Amino acid sequence: MGFDDGRKLSGVCAVEVLHRKQVTPHMMRVTFGGEDLKRLPQHGFDQWFRLFLPRPDGKATNFDAVPDKLRTLDYLKYLTHGDRPPLRNYTVREHRPDLGEIDVDFVVHGDLGIAGPWAATAEPGERLVIMDQGKGFDLHPDAGFHLLVGDESALPAILGILRDLPRGVRGLALIEIPEMADVQEVSGPAGFEVRWLPREDSSVLPGSLALAELKAFQPETPAELSAYLVGERTIPTGGRRHLVALGVPKSQITFVGYWRLGKAQA
């Protein structure tokens, strides 16, 4: 599986908030700009990055504490800075290299946490730092069928993969969202079905609809299936277990827990 892309840009990019726009009830799009973004490679698909945010306590944030790389030792050193910026992971929703701009879609999930609440009120001119991580999606060109499964946090990744997949591939995308109004426009291969799964009711556990739909799906030829499972951690863990039991080769399953219900990212 991917998620450690050797072609990522080394070093950090200083970025500035240009504007923010509510795209659906639970999704806030923040556009970042800056000269550094003109040298950000365009990996496409689910290109992701580390985002270093202003401290939520209003105290001064030491962006100089951000290392050029995030190997284990660099990370441990970064943790020693009491005034370091908090770190979260996000996906490039759209990239305009000529303009030095990226759009990032943040799930707005209430008052808890740092990145979601920050995005809900981000103001033009705010300065942050990002670190390119390349892409996580591995294209298996010989796969007969592609399965993409995720929740709203995975929406930018899945829509980016659909946008960049070769037009001739066949597949199914299962995308769980809070409500039907969170649907976004899709530009994908004609042979791809996109199934939206709105929870609608807050008593429905995030990830449960996507996982149930995945379990109801019967691949014609498991050995030829390629799967990408991301989002609330029950999707990748439960989904992978299920597909492996059906006979899908482990090497053809990309799976990553994006977040965990009731637990803040460290």
Ligand X SMILES: Cc1cc2nc3c(=O)[nH]c(=O)nc-3n(C[C@H](O)[C@H](O)[C@H](O)COP(=O)(O)OP(=O)(O)OC[C@H]3O[C@@H](n4cnc5c(N)ncnc54)[C@H](O)[C@@H]3O)c2cc1C
Nearer to ligand X, 135 or 140 (CB): 135
Nearer to ligand X, 105 or 132 (CB): 105
Nearer to ligand X, 153 or 234 (CB): 153
Nearer to ligand X, 134 or 145 (CB): 134
Question: Minimum distance between the CB of residue 111 and ligand X, rounded to whole angstroms?
Answer: 9
Task: Copy the structure tokens of residue 231.
Answer: 């989002």
Do 116 and 109 form a contact (C-beta atoms < 8 A)? yes
Nearer to ligand X, 153 or 226 (CB): 153
Gyration radius from the chain CA atoms: 18
Nearer to ligand X, 28 or 145 (CB): 28
Length of the chain: 266
Question: Minimum distance between the CB of residue 132 and ligand X, rounded to whole angstroms?
Answer: 12
Q: Which residue is nearest to ligand X (CB)?
A: 113
Q: In what order do the strands lie in the sheet with 27-33?
A: 87-91, 48-52, 127-132, 13-24, 27-33, 101-107, 94-96
Task: Copy the structure tokens of residue 186.
Answer: 């899709």
Report in angstroms the alpha-carbon separations of 133 from 18, 84, 221.
22, 20, 33
Residues at the contact surface with ligand X, assessed by CB under 6 A: 48, 88-91, 105-107, 109, 112-116, 153, 156, 256, 258-265
Helices (H), ranges, 17-136: 72-79, 115-120
Residues 6+ apart with CB under 8 A from 240: 227, 229, 250, 253, 255
Question: Minimum distance between the CB of residue 139 and ligand X, rounded to whole angstroms?
Answer: 17
Question: Minimum distance between the CB of residue 92 and ligand X, rounded to whole angstroms?
Answer: 8
Closest by CA to 37, choosing from 27, 47, 23, is 47
Question: Minimum distance between the CB of residue 56 and ligand X, rounded to whole angstroms?
Answer: 9
Nearer to ligand X, 16 or 94 (CB): 94
Cα-flanking dihedrals φ and ψ of residue 166, to 5°? Answer: -55, 145
Question: Minimum distance between the CB of residue 168 and ligand X, rounded to whole angstroms?
Answer: 27
Question: Minimum distance between the CB of residue 201 and ligand X, rounded to whole angstroms?
Answer: 15
Cα-flanking dihedrals φ and ψ of residue 93, to 5°? Answer: -80, -45
User: In which element (H, E) is residue 246 found?
Assistant: helix 234-246
